[in-house]
Amino acid sequence: MEIKKHASLKAFHTFGIEQTCAYLAVVESIEDVIQLFNDATFKDLPKLFLGKGSNMLFTQHYEGVVIINRLLGKTVTETESHYLLHVDGGEDWPALVEWCVKQGIGGVENLALIPGCAGSAPIQNIGAYGLELQNICDYVDVLDLTTFETRRMSSADCKFGYRDSIFKHALYEKCFITALGLKLPKQWQAINQYGPLQSIPKDELSPHSIFERVCQVRMEKLPDPAKVGNAGSFFKNPVITQDHYDQLVSQHSGMVAYPALGGMKVAAGWLIDQCGLKGVSVNGAQVNPLQALVLTNVNNCSADDVVELASLVKKTVWDKYQIELEHEVRFMGSKKETNLAEIEAGR
């Protein structure tokens, strides 16, 4: 296990913003994690587990221990009807999806190129193009950070919701995800009802063709974090009441929305775009000109620049549509997680 003092976080989160932490530890086994938590040096410090840092904005110097998950390994077993994958938490998610497609294992291709590691996927219940992790998750293995015992949680135990799970609530900071199990049916069925996947001819539908199309769309619309710092989709798609939607759609034709959770889920990117915010900058932070849902680090921006830009986007959308945007990206303060509303209130 490698531990660094007063370390830079720039290379460990995809926004690529210069930020520091008191300690940085790279763990490669469950034993490393247990050792770290039992070390008197770190016992009273806040701790943060990080995979690829693809959904994180460090708003300040972090006064605790950032723990980088590098638990690696994957195995596949089969039943008559399913492929069963056991994937360690530090495995790169995009690489895993590509590997599955190349092995002829279908069922994850809609989730291609979602940045992050396998251990982060259940926390966020990642999803795209009609598929969410909860649809294919069999179990999640966790290390209890109080007893240091490992246990297996079923998919139902995880209380998955839209970009949500028990790991954001009852188990927040109480466990470490060591691995997950995926259950993928051998009798593959295409999920192609959304967006650009609908244009794939029926006789060409396959895990590979869907994978290729998803990758193509993502590479065209979403900036590569290796070239332009970003954390992917910055805001969640908001759900509004049917009455609110009916009122808005009578004034704004072409509103992109679909039924969800007893109301209508509106495309946040469409709202931001319609507000004329594509390409708008605050110092080095910018609303991506191609995909309005993404905020980018185009010129060595600071965390404050991103916060100010996010605040501007949120206010502009509210003023035009009376819809409150909620950020999907996690905001990490000096000792604990925070959010845009808290930061705005503190100014």
CA distance 232 to 224: 9
CB 74 within 8 A of CB 85: yes
Q: Where is 266: in which H helix or E strand?
A: strand 263-266
Distance CA 69, CA 223 (A): 24
Q: Among 98, 82, 117, which residue's Cα sits nearest to residue 207?
A: 98
What number of residues does the chain have?
A: 347
**DSSP code, position 328:** -
Query: Among 161, 178, 179, which residue's Cα sits nearest to residue 170?
Result: 161
Strand 229-233, strand 127-128: pairing: unpaired
The residues annotated as belonging to the active site are 163, 233, 328
Strand partners, 85: 76, 182
CA 120 from centre of chain: 7
- Contact between residue 321 and residue 247 where contact means Cβ atoms under 8 Å apart: no
DSSP secondary structure letters along 172-206: TTTEEEEEEEEEEESS------SGGGGGS-GGG-S
The dihedral sign for the CA sequence 110, 169, 171, 346: positive
